[in-house]
């Protein structure tokens, strides 16, 4: 009886230690804040945020992404661009394409792809194509590097057109396609 | 009788304590004797050799090959383009340098401006200063055995590397570019080819 109790306590302690094994990761998740009002956790949420911080092996989201991110229309405003094809190719030549939804979000689940880095990317919609000259070394979130504003450690958010042309936001989006990104112009 | 036996035991006990104490003191003395006396004639020499040369690898050669290779292959923002990395590489497609003399502290933008001369100099210092003693050893042998350096051990995966195997083996153009630079005779062809490797 006593032994069982001790074992139980021991197990509980181990679990407790295990659950807070990575305080750095916990802080990174916390720093991203709660869900925006009126946008449920799902395909349209957290546009512009580093998806794999949460959709990675340490959670808190259950669905894991190999790569995920957001494509906006222009470089200044954070308006999602729908229907952009994101083309990715890894070091072994393995390729995946994904298409953005109306807030600009896209992702490739780990169940579908385990890329061998480095990975090259390009984005395409209609006649417009933009290539990232450098490669991705090991980061699954485009938005981890592509933060606002453009600075010494970030090229700014990803945009389909190189210059802001004040195009209207996509219609018929279930949530607002305009992201509130800290630092966006 | 009983008293004298007890006092004998007491004096034995004292003896044991004395012996232990002296052993302790002797031990400390022995340890102290092993500590070497500072040698005032022994010093680490930093600076140019008598003939005016230095043991540092050449900066001019560095700028014409190795810097571009490291910038292309190692310096993305998720790898060595981070301020916390021991080997920290600035590059136009990654992290930009701090510049206290300029108009702003960080005058350059990632993905936009060309690489400044100051960034190349700071990269050089990071590479050379990563393991100063091993670098000096390698350089005093004319750049022979560059695999002693983490700079090559890590990307060759001779040692665990979070960035994985970046160079296939020592026939890799990137390896040849860096090794030939340390040997003072830059293999420009290898450096150019190293930029084509993804
Ligand atoms: C030829 C290119 C590369 C060279 C010469 C190189 C060299 C080195 C050296 C010397 C170290 C130890 C010093 C330090 O921690 O900064 C190191 C560590 C590290 N490198 Fe690289 N690296 C290269 C490419 C990469 C790439 C592409 C990545 C990311 C995918 C990467 C990620 C890391 C990380 C995370 C560490 C710290 C953990 C560890 O030591 O394994 N490196 N590398």
Question: What pLDDT digit, counting tens, does each position of A98-125 carry?
Answer: 999 999 999 999 999 999 999 999 999 9
> Can you tell me the mean pLDDT for B129-158?
91
B151 CA to centre of ligand 1 in angstroms = 8
Residue B109: which of A117, A138, A151 has the nearest Cβ? A151
Q: Answer yes or no: is pLDDT of B87 > 80.
A: yes
Is residue B158 one of the residues assigned to a domain?
yes
Count Cβ neighbours within 10 Å for each residue of B54-71 and write b for 16 or more, e otherwise: ebbbbeebbbebbbbbbb
pLDDT in tens, A31-51: 888 888 888 889 999 999 999
| pLDDT reported for residue B45 | 61
CA distance from start to end of chain A: 65
Percent of chain B topping pLDDT 70: 75
pLDDT in tens, B35-84: 666 677 766 665 666 676 777 888 999 999 999 999 999 999 999 999 99
What pLDDT shows up at residue A167?
84
How much distance in Å is there from the Cα of A125 to the middle of ligand 1? 35
Name the residue of chain B whose CA is nearest to A140's CA. Answer: B78
Nearest-angstrom CA–CA distance, A118 and B45: 42
Contact A153 B81 (CB under 8 A): yes
- CA-proximal residue: ligand 1, atom 34 (nearest): B162
Bridge partners for A97 per DSSP = A87
A133 CB neighbours in chain B (<8 A) are 93
Q: Which of A32-46, A132-146, A165-179 tops mean pLDDT? A: A132-146
How many distinct structural domains can be found in chain B? 2
Burial degree of A126 (CB within 10 A; 0-12, 13-18, 19+): exposed
Query: What is the rounded average pLDDT of the residues B100-108?
Result: 71
Helix B66-73 to helix B117-129 angle (10° resolution) is: 80
* Size of the A and B interface in Cβ pairs below 8 Å: 56
Looking at the structure, tell me whether residues B84 and B163 fall in a common domain. Answer: yes
Ligand 1 binding pocket mutation candidate from A137, A140, A145 (most atoms within 8 A of CB): A137
Residue B51 domain-assigned (yes or no): no
| B19 and B74 inside one domain | no
Residues with CB under 6 A from ligand 1: A 117, 137-138; B 73-74, 79-80, 85-87, 130, 150-151, 154-155, 160-163, 166, 174
Q: Are residues B27 and B64 in the same domain?
A: no
Short-list B164, B166, B172, CA closest to B194: B172
Residue B45 within a domain:
no
Note whether residue B115 is domain-resident. yes
Q: Please indicate, yes or no, whether residues B107 and B27 belong to a single structural domain of this protein.
A: no
Q: Do B79 and A136 touch (CB under 8 A)?
A: no
Close Cβ partners of B193 (under 8 Å, ≥ 6 residues apart): B173
Concatenated DSSP letters for B103-172?
SSSS---TTTSPPPHHHHHHHHHHHHHSSHHHHHHHHHTTT--GGGSHHHHTTTTSS--TT---S-STTS
Q: Report CB contact under 8 Å: B109, A155.
A: yes
- B196 at the A interface (CB within 8 A)? no
Residues B107, B187, single domain; the answer is yes
How many angstroms away from the CA of A138 is the closest CA of chain B?
Answer: 6
Q: Are residues B2 and B73 in the same domain?
A: no
Q: Kindly state whether B155 is in contact with chain A, defined as any CB-CB distance less than 8 angstroms.
A: no
Write the Ramachandran bin of B108: left for phi over 0, alpha for psi from -120 to 50, otherwise beta.
beta
**pLDDT at site B157:** 94
Say yes or no: B78 and B154 in one domain. Answer: yes
Mean pLDDT value across chain A: 87
- Atom index in ligand 1 nearest the CA of residue B162 equals 41
Q: Which of B72, B78, B155, B198 to mutate: most A Cβ within 10 Å? A: B78
Contacts of B67 (CB under 8 A, 6+ apart): B115, B120, B123, B124
Predicted ipTM?
A: 0.81
B12's tokens: 């034995």
pLDDT at A14: 47
Q: In angstroms, rounded to a whole number, what is the distance separating the alpha carbons of residues B8 and A152?
A: 83
Cα–chain center distance at B17: 51
B133 and B173 inside one domain: yes
Residue A65 in 3-state DSSP?
Answer: strand
Domain limits for position B17: 1-31
Q: Which of B72, B106, B162 sits opposite A151 (nearest CB)?
A: B106
Half-sphere exposure of B60 (CA within 13 A, CB side): 2
Which chain A residue's Cα is nearest to B165? A117
| Nearest protein Cα to ligand 1, atom 2 | B74
Query: What pLDDT score was predicted for residue B30?
Result: 64
Task: Report if residue B189 sits inside a domain.
Answer: yes
Quick one: closest CA in A to B77, which residue?
A145
Give me the count of residues in chain B.
198
Q: How far apart are CA B196 and CA A150, in angstroms?
A: 27
pLDDT at B146 over 70: yes
In a domain, B152, yes or no: yes
Q: What is the mean pLDDT of residues B104-121?
A: 86
Least confident of A32-41, A62-71, B145-154: A32-41
Q: Are residues B4 and B95 in the same domain?
A: no
pLDDT, position A36: 84
Residues B91 and B168 in one domain: yes
Q: Is residue B48 part of a domain?
A: no
Specify if B185 maps to a domain: yes
One DSSP character per residue, A111-177 reads TT----S-BEEEEEETTEEEE-SS-BSS-SBHHHHS-SSPBTTB--S-BSSSS---PPPPSS-SS-S
Whether residue A21 is predicted with pLDDT greater than 60 in this model: the reply is: yes
pTM (predicted TM-score): 0.82
Strand, helix or coil for residue A67: strand
Q: What's the per-residue H, E or C state across B61-117?
A: HHHCCHHHHHHHHCCCCCCCCCCCCCCCCCCCCCCCCCCCCCCCCCCCCCCCCCCCH
B5 exposure class (CB count in 10 Å sphere: 0-12, 13-18, 19+): exposed
Q: What is the mean pLDDT of residues A118-145?
A: 95
Together in a domain, B15 and B89: no
Of residues A95, A14, A81, the one with CA closest to residue A47: A81
């Amino acid at each position: 009886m006593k032994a069982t109790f001790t074992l139980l306590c021991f197990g509980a302690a181990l679990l407790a230690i295990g659950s807070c094994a990575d305080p750095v990761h916990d802080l990174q998740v916390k720093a991203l804040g709660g869900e925006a009002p009126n946008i449920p956790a799902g395909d349209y949420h957290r546009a512009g945020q580093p998806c794999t911080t949460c959709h990675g092996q340490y959670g808190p989201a259950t669905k894991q992404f190999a790569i995920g991110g957001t494509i906006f229309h222009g470089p200044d405003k954070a308006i999602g661009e729908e229907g952009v094809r994101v083309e990715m190719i890894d070091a072994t030549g393995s390729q995946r394409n994904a298409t953005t939804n109306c807030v600009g979000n896209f992702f490739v689940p780990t169940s579908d792809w385990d890329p061998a880095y480095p990975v090259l990317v390009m984005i395409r919609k209609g006649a417009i194509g933009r290539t990232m000259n450098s490669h991705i070394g090991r980061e699954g979130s485009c938005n981890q590097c592509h933060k606002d504003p453009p600075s010494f450690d970030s090229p700014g958010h990803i945009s389909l057109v190189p210059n802001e042309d004040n195009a209207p936001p996509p219609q018929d989006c279930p949530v607002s396609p305009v992201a509130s990104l800290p630092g966006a112009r | 009788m009983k008293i004298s036996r007890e006092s004998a035991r007491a004096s034995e006990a004292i003896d044991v304590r004395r012996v232990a104490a002296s052993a302790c003191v002797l031990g400390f003395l022995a340890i102290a004797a092993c500590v070497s006396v500072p040698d005032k004639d022994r010093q680490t020499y930093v600076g140019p050799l008598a003939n005016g040369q230095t043991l540092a690898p050449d900066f001019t050669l560095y700028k014409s090959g190795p810097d571009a290779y490291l910038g292309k292959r190692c310096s993305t923002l998720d790898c060595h383009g981070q301020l916390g990395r021991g080997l920290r590489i600035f590059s136009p497609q990654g992290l930009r340098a701090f510049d206290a003399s300029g108009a702003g502290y960080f005058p350059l933008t990632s993905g936009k401006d060309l690489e400044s001369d100051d960034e190349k100099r700071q990269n050089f210092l990071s590479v050379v200063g990563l393991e100063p003693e091993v670098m000096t050893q390698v350089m005093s042998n004319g750049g022979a055995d560059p695999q002693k350096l983490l700079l090559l051990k890590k990307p060759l995966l001779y040692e665990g590397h979070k960035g994985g195997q970046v160079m296939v083996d020592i026939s890799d153009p990137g390896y040849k570019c860096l090794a030939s630079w340390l040997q003072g005779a830059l293999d420009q062809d290898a450096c150019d080819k190293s930029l084509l490797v993804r």
